[in-house]
Amino acid sequence: KQSRILCSALQHLVMSAEEAAAMIPAGANVGMSGFTGAGYPKAVPGALAERIRAHNTAGGQPFRINVLTGASTAPELDGKLAEVDGIEMRLPFQSDPICRARINEGTMNYADYHLSEVAQYAWAGFFGKMDIAIIEVVGIREDGSLIPSSSVGNNKTWIEQADKVILEVNHTQSLRMEGMHDIYYGTALPPNRKPIQLTEPDQRVGELYLRCPIEKVIAIVETNAPDRNSPFKEPDDASRRIAEHILKFFDSEVAKGRLPENLLPLQSGVGNIPNAVLEALDSGDYKNLTAYTEVIQDGMLKMLKSGTLRMASATAFSLSPDGIAEFDKDIEFYRERIILRPQEISNHPEIARRLGVIATNAMIEADIYGNVNSTHIMGTRMMNGIGGSGDFARNGYLSIFMSPSTAKDGKISTIVPMVSHVDHTEHDVKVIVTEQGLADLRGLSPRQRAKAIIENCAHPDFKPMLLDYFERACASGRGMHTPHLLQEALSWHEQFEQTGTMRRE
Ligand code: 0RQ
């Protein structure tokens, strides 16, 4: 096995995951690497979970830590720590089923933040002192600097803020990723903040490696495990139709001269619908597109290979097993075309606004006025989190939200009178798309938006109910800017909770 720990001053710190986990005290604030199942520590969190389990079985004060990451991780991290009830506070994003259950049963605190904002809040001390950073890397260089792994996330900030650093050197991650990263060291808190000189998506403004003071490192654990990677489903009919509506919309925006022929930098959320949109773009005539996004999915690799996409900037990969195999096979090709940055830069409002990003994200539900819920099932139960969707929706040039028009076998309408939770307000949402059609909300008043959304996006089974609600709300004559029947506005959700369906037979 080739040594990946070239810094001689650090070599004596190699130890087992159990020995490293023993250095993490109860109550610690722990900043971990990891973003959408990429580049998270694979061994120490599990060893820590075992230690917590043993401690809690023996009784006494419960052993819990606060877990801060880039975004979602994997069963080896979130799953294992949540299973032993080892997490007091989790932020800023998760998608793990056990974590989700803990959050929704009220035994884990969860703070759901815009992903671009986490680093500055950490510097400002909003989360308390950072005790330990646990960071997966590909290798440690002679001078102690670190070759980042398959995600950058908040790693720069965690290393800077933490008193102590535990490194996981993962031999499964390819050393040939060296050179893909761009770690920007120019950020500061107000009033010392300066413009970020990034005016094109493919510009480099930072350094190839993570700086890490040698004296902070307390342990190094060598691992050999792949990133979590779930296979993509083939796009279903609804996703395909959503993608077709979006493509037609792009074509018409280009024809009207409102978008350039190679569009504007794309941000694409994770999941099957955003992936279907990428596939549709790839099968169309577009060439030389760019992406300024958070996550590189399989669809983007294919687009880079076909030339549809010229380059992609992100903070992490989120690939299927096939996607990883393809990436490994041809890293030299992808290294020329992909830049991985800290999430404060990949999701930076200043840059999303300057570049004019086209944001395409999935949603849980939208209301007739264009407010969007991305996070809460029936207004109370956390699904994943807002992630980066707000960073891009608020600041992008176009913000597009997408969902099938119904959920749960048609029992739920995803277009409702009033959203049961708001993540993206009517002021941030420009376009809503379902398999039924696309509503372009730009330049419309709330009542005009309601007509466009009901007409174009609602499922035919729910359209008459929505029209009836809207017409009666207008007839009430109370507030004609955004007419509502307040007693009834959330009655669809309430009925679902009571009966298991929003339908009225
Ligand atoms: O339930 O899991 O029980 O089958 O919600 O829905 O349709 O499979 O869609 O996986 O793409 O997730 C918005 C959650 C969509 C995701 C959301 C139920 C549905 C299913 C999942 P089951 P689908 P997806 C970039 C940007 C916020 C973060 C973001 C998300 C489950 O896209 O987390 O955008 N977005 N980040 O049945 C009740 C409804 C429902 C519903 C769907 N109206 N009511 N249940 N479901 N609509 C990435 C990062 O930020 C890192």
Concatenating the DSSP letter of every residue in 396-455 gives SSEEEEE--SEETTTTEESEESS-SS-SB-TTT--EEEETTEEEE-TT--HHHHHHHHHH
Q: How confident is the model at residue 505 (pLDDT cuts 50, 70, 90)?
A: confident
Q: Which residues contact 248 (CB under 8 A, 6 or more apart)?
A: 438
Say whether 426 is catalytic: no
How far is 117 from 292, CA to CA, in rounded Å? 17
Rounded-to-5 percentages of helix, strand, coil across the chain: 35, 20, 45
Contact 221, 43 (CB under 8 A): yes
- The tens digit of pLDDT for each residue in 427-480 reads 999 999 999 999 999 999 999 999 999 999 999 999 999 999 999 999 998 999
How much is the pLDDT for 1? 63
Contact 320, 230 (CB under 8 A): yes
Written as six digits, the tokens of 349 are 């409002």
Ligand 1 centre to CA of 430 (Å) is: 20
HSE (side-chain half, CA atoms, 13 Å) at 88: 13
Q: How confident is the model at residue 2 (pLDDT cuts 50, 70, 90)?
A: confident
Residue count (the chain): 505
Ligand 1 centre to CA of 364 (Å) is: 6
Answer left, alpha or beta for residue 179, where phi above 0 means left and psi between -120 and 50 means alpha.
Answer: left
Pocket test for ligand 1, best of 270, 373, 496 (most atoms within 8 A of CB): 270
H or E stretch at 90: strand 87-91
Average pLDDT over residues 55-84: 96
Furthest-apart CA atoms within the chain: distance in Å: 77
| Beta strand pairing call for 431-434 and 398-402 | parallel
Cα 351 to Cα 266, 278, 367, 425, distances in angstroms: 13, 22, 29, 21
- The tens digit of pLDDT for each residue in 198-257 reads 999 999 999 999 999 999 999 999 999 999 887 777 889 999 999 999 999 999 999 999
Q: Does 384 show up as a binding residue in the annotation?
A: yes
How much is the pLDDT for 234? 82
Ligand 1 centre to CA of 95 (Å) is: 10
Closest protein CA for atom 51 of ligand 1: 387
Contact 331, 174 (CB under 8 A): yes
- With tokens 């520590």, the residue in question is 41
Written as six digits, the tokens of 140 are 């440690």
Contact 226, 165 (CB under 8 A): no
- The tens digit of pLDDT for each residue in 171-212 reads 999 999 999 999 999 999 999 999 999 999 999 999 999 999
Q: How confident is the model at residue 280 (pLDDT cuts 50, 70, 90)?
A: very high
How far is 296 from 152, CA to CA, in rounded Å? 12
Atom of ligand 1 nearest to the CA of 115: 50
Q: Does 299 show up as a binding residue in the annotation?
A: no
How far is 75 from 98, CA to CA, in rounded Å? 9
Q: Pick the catalytic residue: 117, 222, 294, 344?
A: 294
- The tens digit of pLDDT for each residue in 293-327 reads 999 999 999 999 999 999 999 999 999 999 999 99
Model confidence pTM above 0.80? yes
Percentage of the chain surpassing pLDDT 90?
96
DSSP 40: -
Give the closest residue to 419 by CA, choosing from 493, 476, 471, 502.
Answer: 493
Q: Does 129 show up as a binding residue in the annotation?
A: no
Q: Does 42 show up as a binding residue in the annotation?
A: no
Mean pLDDT of the chain: 97
Atom of ligand 1 nearest to the CA of 383: 14
Answer whether residue 346 shows pLDDT above 90: yes
Q: How confident is the model at residue 270 (pLDDT cuts 50, 70, 90)?
A: confident
Lining residues, ligand 1, CB within 6 Å: 36, 71, 93, 115, 269-273, 294-295, 361-365, 374, 377, 383-384, 386-389, 407-408, 412, 414
Q: Which residues contact 254 (CB under 8 A, 6 or more apart)?
A: 260, 261, 263
Q: Which residues contact 58 (CB under 8 A, 6 or more apart)?
A: none
